[in-house]
Amino acid sequence: MGKIQFTELGLSQEILKAVEDLGYEETTAIQTLCIPLIMQGKDVIGQSQTGTGKTAAFGIPILEMIDLDNRNLQVLVLCPTRELAVQACDEIRKYGKYKQGIKALPIYGGQSIDRQIKSLKQGVQVVVGTPGRVMDHMRRHTLKTSEVRMLVLDEADEMLNMGFREDIETILQDIPSRRQTVLFSATMPKEILAITKQYQRDPQLVKVVRKQLTVPGIEQNYLEVTQTNKLEVLCRLIDIYNPWLSLVFCNTKKRVDELVSQLQFRGYLADGLHGDMKQQVRTRVMNMFKEGKIEILVATDVAARGIDVDDIEIVFNYDIPEDEEYYVHRIGRTGRAGKTGRAITFVTGKKQIYLIRDIQRYANTTIHLMQVPSLNDVQDSKIIKISGEIKETLKDGNIDKYIKVIAELMGEDATSVDIAAALLKMAVEKEKGDEQTVDEEEFSDSGAEPGMVRLFINAGKQQKISARDVVGAIAAEAGIQGRLIGAIDIYDRYTFVEVPKENAKQVLSIMNKSHIKGRKINIEPAKAK
């Protein structure tokens, strides 16, 4: 059974709304198979690797079965480490944000036990904890298990490897035998099978087995970044590699929209694809991407299906994929038609390093660690790019009149090397764009008519903005005659407008943070490619 929409699982409206808020469009394989069985009250053995969405596979059924009128403990989830306990509890809370009256609590060693006891006394229906701390509370009689209806063992093989078998069996024996028992494990050693045989009733085995894949012809790298500097790193990489077309993957629809707005604000020709967009809009965006009018396409996994473009030079995993299989599908969008490609994955935190290892095992490939590029790296890449353009210009010839100018400059005690270096410096600094303030801005050639400057506005057709609105706002706010305003190109979420070069700084300083058709807008110089 493959992936399906969450709406096909018969979930409550509260859960579906939470799923929509999180931006997930469809289930993973383990969720598709496990959620219906657990909701039917069956004991389940789920065999699946880390990063396949196991928490939602048991967390969503937990939320659907909780008796909201009962403040006593109803579900106990055991995890091998404090980090996993906290993460699982947080995820359960996110899916249950619209379920009024549900209280979930993580308990683990290293945190004040008195604080945990206080929280437990206030009434908790779901406890997610490590075996040692759960045992501690049970000995103190601060964790009462008489009304527990479901027990979940998450990453059971890891708990056994860490020496928790005795604790787990003690907990299992203390919980009412009428309970539902759900067990997840990446491997199935004899010890796990012994536990399932003794403590589960007619368990349903759900095993997600996938063919190992190789990914030839694609250079694969990952970077360790913080969540807050992802955007800056992405922009540096785009500036360094300067791809004709690139594809950026995000895990949620919300993240796609946020990233598209941020890229557009920085002047990149970017747009997005996700499941909330109408088919007509998606088709238009795809056509513009194929034609090169959009150079950066930001998409979710579902929306990216059917993308068949041979010229995608780089795939960026802005969010590490939820499933190893998604990784292979994503990077397969580059390196097509016998061409080479590049895939770069952003990794945040230790857990995602482990996910990279899982992906390498699954895809039978190597993903190399690369250093985060510095601003000097970006500048060096621009120098290399311009040097290449100079070589091409030399090959083309027709530079006699420029040689005459250089000869005259050399008569003023400047060497040819000095003059060449000065010109190269001017060319590089001209491309800095968003690294300069408005007062320092040297408006680079962005395709505007001679004597004009092309500006970027972060609003477009989706905000129902027309050319008349743009002309009216600039004329009224900046005091420029409407007839002086040049070409206006309006896209779905952004607009380009040309204004006279001598008025550009005035427009930027006055119009930025002003309003067009009631919408607060940002305006800045269009970024030169």
Tell me if 6-207 shares its fold with 218-373. Answer: yes
Q: Could you tell me the residue ranges of all domains in the chain?
A: 6-207, 218-373, 375-431, 446-529
Look up the CATH superfamily of 446-529: RRM (RNA recognition motif) domain (3.30.70.330)
Distance CA 514, CA 473 (A): 9
Q: In this predicted model, what pLDDT tens digit does every residue of 183-240 receive, in sequence order?
A: 998 888 888 999 999 999 999 999 876 554 656 789 999 999 988 889 989 999 998 8
> What separation in angstroms does the CA of 269 have from each of 117, 238, 396, 464, 491?
54, 12, 30, 20, 10
76 SS3 class:
strand
**pLDDT score, position 163:** 87
DSSP code of residue 205: E
Distance CA 345, CA 341 (A): 14
Mean pLDDT score, 352-370: 88
287 pLDDT band, cuts 50/70/90, is confident
**pLDDT score, position 49:** 64
pLDDT > 70: percent of the chain: 87
CATH for 6-207, among 3.30.2010.10, 3.40.50.300, 3.40.50.450, 3.40.50.10440?
3.40.50.300
pLDDT > 90: percent of the chain: 36
Q: In this predicted model, what pLDDT tens digit does every residue of 473-504 receive, in sequence order?
A: 888 777 777 778 888 989 888 899 998 887 88
52 pLDDT band, cuts 50/70/90, is low
398 CB burial (10 A radius; 0-12, 13-18, 19+)? exposed
Q: In this predicted model, what pLDDT tens digit does every residue of 268-279 receive, in sequence order?
A: 899 998 878 887
Average pLDDT, the chain: 84
> What separation in angstroms does the CA of 6 have from each of 20, 23, 70, 148, 182?
9, 11, 27, 27, 21
Mean pLDDT score, 503-524: 80
Phi, psi at 271, each rounded to 5°: -155, 175
Mean pLDDT score, 157-169: 88
| Encoded amino acid at 524, one letter | E
Mean pLDDT score, 122-150: 94
* pLDDT for residue 311 is more than 70: yes
Mean pLDDT score, 59-83: 93
Q: Which range, 48-52, 305-309, 451-455, has the best average confidence (pLDDT)?
A: 451-455
Domain 218-373 of CATH type 3.40.50.300: yes
**pLDDT score, position 247:** 95
Q: In this predicted model, what pLDDT tens digit does every residue of 188-203 receive, in sequence order?
A: 888 899 999 999 999 9
Phi, psi at 104, each rounded to 5°: -120, 140
Distance CA 225, CA 206 (A): 35
Are residues 92 and 59 in contact, defined by beta-carbon separation less than 8 angstroms?
yes
Mean pLDDT score, 312-335: 87
Q: Which residue has the higher pLDDT, 439 or 52?
A: 52
Angle between helices 54-65 and 82-95 (to 10 degrees): 50
Q: In this predicted model, what pLDDT tens digit does every residue of 73-108 receive, in sequence order?
A: 999 999 988 888 988 999 999 999 999 889 999 999
**pLDDT score, position 439:** 39
**pLDDT score, position 441:** 44
* pLDDT for residue 158 is more than 90: no
Distance CA 25, CA 304 (A): 12
Number of neighbours of residue 244 by Cβ within 10 angstroms: 11
- Out of 60-69, 383-392, 453-462, which region has the weakest mean confidence (pLDDT)? 383-392
Please tell me the pTM assigned to this model: 0.52
Distance CA 352, CA 374 (A): 23
Mean pLDDT score, 69-75: 94
